[in-house]
Amino acid sequence: MAVYSAQVAWRRRDGEVFVDRRYSRAHRWRFDGGVDIPASSSPLVVRVPLSDPAGVDPEEALVASLSSCHMLFFLDFASRGGFLVESYVDAAEGLVGKDADGRIAMTRVTLKPHVVFAGDKRPSAQDIAALHHEAHAACFIANSVKCEIRVEGSAEGQTA
């Protein structure tokens, strides 16, 4: 078992009343490696200036976590299969709506990875689909969420 941690820190700004609900949602995320990231509520949830559009919001972070986890497993499995991956870029999207219980939730995440392969050994479309399937099954972030996760990938450099 492994333990992961993050520090989330917020502080009321000078002059903010707070109980009037007109306070900044900007805060910081700090991770064990020393990375310090500006974060905020989504401007789609709490309007600017109470949200900071430059900060990462929890919804974006969830989508990025799913995408990153999938990518890391995909790259590992491709490497094990002898396939040379030149690049991997995912334009992932998350959809927030009402779930089956009528609560607001992330209802679907669509991963849209574009993978470029090089080298002598090239994967077929079936190989790529299998790599995505295996990556999805292994991703413990995907195994931890209940929304639908789709993979709509594209690739260059595969065999016919």
Pick the CATH number of 58-156 from 3.20.20.70, 3.90.120.10, 1.10.287.130, 3.30.300.20: 3.30.300.20
> Tens digits of per-residue pLDDT, 100-140?
999 999 999 999 999 999 999 999 999 999 999 999 999 99
pLDDT confidence of residue 160: 82
**Lookup: tokens for 116:** 């470029």
Q: What is the pTM of this model?
A: 0.93
> For the domain 1-56, what is the CATH code?
3.30.300.20
> Tens digits of per-residue pLDDT, 47-81?
999 999 999 999 999 999 999 999 999 999 999 99
Domain extents for the chain? Answer: 1-56, 58-156
Strand blocks (E) in 15-158: 27-31, 36-39, 84-90, 93-98, 104-111, 113-118, 148-151, 154-156
Q: Determine the straight-line distance between the first and last CA of the chain, rounded to whole angstroms.
A: 42
